[in-house]
Amino acid sequence: MTGQTGFARALTVAGSDSGGGAGIQADLKTMQELGVFGMSALTAVTVQNSLGVHGVHPLEPAAVADQAEAVLSDIGADAVKTGMLFSSEVIEAVCDVLERYAVRRLTVDPVMIAKGGASLLRAEAVAAMVRRLLPMAEIVTPNVPEACALLGLPEDAIRDETDMADAARQIRLLGPEYVLVKGGHLGETEAETRTECADVLAGGSDLLRVLRSPFIPTRHTHGTGCTLSAAITAYRARGLAMEEAVRGAKDFVSKAIAYAVPTGGGIGSLWHAAHRRAE
Ligand SMILES: Nc1ncnc2c1ncn2[C@@H]1O[C@H](COP(=O)(O)OP(=O)(O)O)[C@@H](O)[C@H]1O
Ligand SMILES: Cc1ncc(COP(=O)(O)O)c(N)n1
């Protein structure tokens, strides 16, 4: 038997979601669906289902760093993403490894709070994320509350697309080459009249794009952010240009939301194979 040559590889550094919809599980499903060989460095085991996060068991920072090192020193990765990192110690340990292997195609999903409200990043770790991780990122993908936290703004400071664009430009000044501020949380209170979900991409020399997609009226949105950032990472691993990668990822996540599955009695999860049906 011969192996496949010329395949793209991606590494995710993130937490496990026992419910299967977010975290490492969403990342690996997305990478596989997009034809990329997915690998993982686990940061924490979360006890999670559709009703929320019931426990968080972080791994030792050295255990996280060793997993990333094992992957990068042997298999290699064409692109890397980070998700739930939990503590400043884990951020520091992961940054040391990414720096050592000169990882360039790095997507940072600055995961802070799960949809049910549980904290997936200690408050003290935001400073380490800003100081060490953001300058290494090729793209950072905050949702609206995360963008506020990165900029030290009150959590209701971003109210419309103009505010999202301002925030994206300001976060760029923290070091990442591109910033995608995601608008899934904007207008949550007007769900009945909402027609679209817009994300703002800033980067390159003077790129500013508003990426629009139809709003899908569903409560089953567990894993949207993880899936979007994993798809960007997979497309970058395959060598697509950044704007193309982000547009492709938004399309992938929209389809996965449209065919979301009502797993459990709470917030259900995306269906990562949906793009196959829609093609
Ligand atoms: N109900 C929805 N319909 C269509 N797109 C959505 C919906 N909810 C979120 N999205 C999209 O999913 C992606 C993730 O956004 P968001 O939910 O804001 O991130 P997070 O999961 O990090 O909170 C974005 O591209 C956003 O526009
Ligand atoms: C382990 C883990 N990582 C990330 C999320 C965020 O999920 P979402 O994409 O719904 O914001 C989560 N709920 N659990």
Tell me the DSSP string of 3-52: ---S-EEEEEEEEEETTSSSHHHHHHHHHHHTTEEEEEEEEEEEEEETTE
DSSP 60: P
**Domain range 9-273, CATH class:** alpha beta
ipTM of the complex model? 0.98
What is this structure's pTM? 0.97
Please indicate whether residue 239 is annotated as part of the active site: no
Q: How far is the CA of 205 from the centre of ligand 2 (A)?
A: 31
Please indicate whether residue 225 is annotated as part of the active site: yes
Please indicate whether residue 38 is annotated as part of the active site: no
Q: Is the pLDDT of residue 1 over 70?
A: no
The whole-angstrom separation of Cα 47 and Cα 195 is 34
pLDDT of residue 217: 94
Joined together, the tokens standing for residue 278 give 């829609």
For ligand 2, pick from 86, 107, 180, 226 the residue to mutate: most ligand atoms within 8 Å of CB.
226
pLDDT of residue 8: 98
Q: Where are the domains of the chain?
A: 9-273
pLDDT of residue 204: 80
pLDDT of residue 145: 95
pLDDT tens, 217-275?
999 999 999 999 999 999 999 999 999 999 999 999 999 999 999 999 999 999 999 99
Query: pLDDT averaged over the chain?
Result: 95
Q: How far is the CA of 160 from the centre of ligand 2 (A)?
A: 24
Q: Indicate if ligand 1 lies below 6 Å from the C-beta of 254.
A: yes
Q: What is the mean pLDDT of residues 110-134?
A: 95
